Amino acid sequence: MHNTTHNITNVGVIGSGQMGGGIAQVAATAGFNTTVFDTSPDAIARCQATHAKLLARAVEKERMTTDQAEATKARLTYVTDLDQLAGSDIAIEAVVEDAAVKAKVFRGLDDMLKGDQVLATNTSSISITEIASATKRPERVIGMHFFYPVPVMKLVEVINGLATDKAITARVISLAEAMGKTAVPANDRAGFVSNRVLMPMINEAFYAWMEGVAQPEHIDAIMKLGCNFPMGPLRLADFIGLDTCAHIMDVLAEGLCNERYRPCPLLRQLVVAGRLGNKTAHGVFDYSAS
Ligand code: NAD
């Protein structure tokens, strides 16, 4: 590990889904002893199988030697008992996006971890300050916002809650960098920076479509070719999920106390129609033939 100001050896990951599994994989690959916890035995078994498959593929493609893959595997432990995270220097929470479930997880961690451990959350839209208020040490709670797919995406948005200690921020930035990521700090306002800037742009693309400014494919072509975006905003909305986009706009409207952030009526209408994007094979665009 090239940077040790984080003072972290053991990483605990809570939630072994899409994000938690990726975070654990990246942490173990970077040399951290990593324990992954999930309440669901099926989810934890799936996570372990996915890691084994990805490591085997990395060896096949000569991105890793057999020894490196074996050493990475040996650094990973899969548990369904929260007590087994007691030795973690940091707990990174990546359970479902539900404030009540996250508050319960943080109360449990607060009771179990009595030392100076860092408590991080990978939430994409819930207030860090609110999650921190479930604990008796909000100064140790911080947002560590990874992006999907975690092994590929470089950014970790590091979000300070109202009470987060600056020393904790510095440690988490150092940890993210030791995990091979680029860490960028932000403060705790609804949507942080990533969704605060991205989602209103996506929403505006729905307004442009609804008002007949241009056809969806033309809106996307203009933004791709004119702004050099890799993907147009409406195609990206399908990829993220239209329900997720609408939900994040509502989070922005409520958190920033401003109705101008509400989802575009056309976006809401597609959601109630069940056109959610890639996951239903139909959103803005129709994928049923592909
Ligand atoms: P997911 O549904 O794939 O995984 C969630 C996992 O949490 C499941 O395995 C579930 O069994 C587990 N879980 C539920 N309650 C639990 C509990 N009390 N204790 C331990 N485990 C529990 O979800 P995901 O897409 O990995 O998202 C996880 C978090 O990451 C969410 O907060 C989400 O907003 C955030 N996030 C997601 C993305 C994304 O693109 N998917 C990107 C950035 C951040």
**Per-residue pLDDT averaged across 4-18, rounded?**
94
Q: What is the pLDDT of residues 235-284, one digit of tens each?
A: 999 999 999 999 999 999 999 999 999 999 999 999 999 999 999 999 99
Residue 99 has pLDDT above 80, yes or no: yes
The residue whose CA is least distant from atom 35 of ligand 1 is 123
The atom of ligand 1 lying closest to the CA of 101 is: 18
The residue whose CA is least distant from atom 11 of ligand 1 is 40
Q: In the Cβ-directed half-sphere of 207, how many Cα atoms lie within 13 Å?
A: 11
User: For residue 121, is it within any domain?
Assistant: yes
What band does 1 get if pLDDT is binned at 50, 70 and 90? very low
Asked if residue 210 and residue 165 are part of one domain, the reply reads: no
**Per-residue pLDDT averaged across 54-65, rounded?**
96
Write out residues with Cβ below 6 Å of ligand 1. 14-20, 37-40, 43, 94-97, 101, 105, 122-124, 146-148
Burial of 38 (0-12, 13-18, 19+ CB in 10 A): buried
Asked if residue 250 and residue 147 are part of one domain, the reply reads: no
The atom of ligand 1 lying closest to the CA of 123 is: 32
Q: What is the pLDDT of residues 86-95, one digit of tens each?
A: 999 999 999 9
Domain final residue, candidates 160, 186, 212: 186
CA 17 vs CA 14, 92, 97, 198, 209: distances in Å: 9, 13, 12, 24, 34
User: For residue 239, is it within any domain?
Assistant: yes
User: Which residue type, as a one-letter code, is found at position 17?
Assistant: G
The residue whose CA is least distant from atom 25 of ligand 1 is 18
What band does 4 get if pLDDT is binned at 50, 70 and 90? low
- Ligand 1 centroid vs 195 CA: distance in angstroms? 18
Asked if residue 217 and residue 178 are part of one domain, the reply reads: no
Q: For a pocket test of ligand 1, which of 93, 95, 276 has the largest count of ligand atoms closer than 8 A to its C-beta?
A: 95
* Model pLDDT, residue 10: 98
Asked if residue 26 and residue 55 are part of one domain, the reply reads: yes
What band does 7 get if pLDDT is binned at 50, 70 and 90? very high
Asked if residue 127 and residue 11 are part of one domain, the reply reads: yes
CA 255 vs CA 189, 225, 258: distances in Å: 7, 33, 8
Domain encompassing residue 267: 196-278
What band does 290 get if pLDDT is binned at 50, 70 and 90? confident
Pairing of strands 90-93, 10-14: parallel
Tokens at 199, concatenated: 């989602």
Asked if residue 209 and residue 171 are part of one domain, the reply reads: no
Pairing of strands 141-146, 155-160: antiparallel
User: For residue 33, is it within any domain?
Assistant: yes
pTM: 0.94
Asked if residue 33 and residue 172 are part of one domain, the reply reads: yes
* Model pLDDT, residue 114: 86
Q: For a pocket test of ligand 1, which of 80, 96, 104 has the largest count of ligand atoms closer than 8 A to its C-beta?
A: 96
Q: What is the pLDDT of residues 181-239, one digit of tens each?
A: 999 999 999 999 999 999 999 999 999 999 999 999 999 999 999 999 999 999 999 99
* CATH code (residue 145): 3.40.50.720
CA distance 36 to 215: 45
The atom of ligand 1 lying closest to the CA of 14 is: 20
User: For residue 271, is it within any domain?
Assistant: yes
Asked if residue 179 and residue 200 are part of one domain, the reply reads: no
Q: In the Cβ-directed half-sphere of 186, how many Cα atoms lie within 13 Å?
A: 23
CA 175 vs CA 4, 11, 21, 71, 114: distances in Å: 8, 10, 17, 20, 21
Asked if residue 90 and residue 19 are part of one domain, the reply reads: yes
User: For residue 290, is it within any domain?
Assistant: no
Percent of the chain with pLDDT over 90: 97
Asked if residue 216 and residue 88 are part of one domain, the reply reads: no
Domain final residue, candidates 128, 154, 186: 186
CA distance 115 to 89: 9
The number of folded domains in the chain is 2
* CATH code (residue 225): 1.10.1040.10
Domain final residue, candidates 154, 186, 218: 186
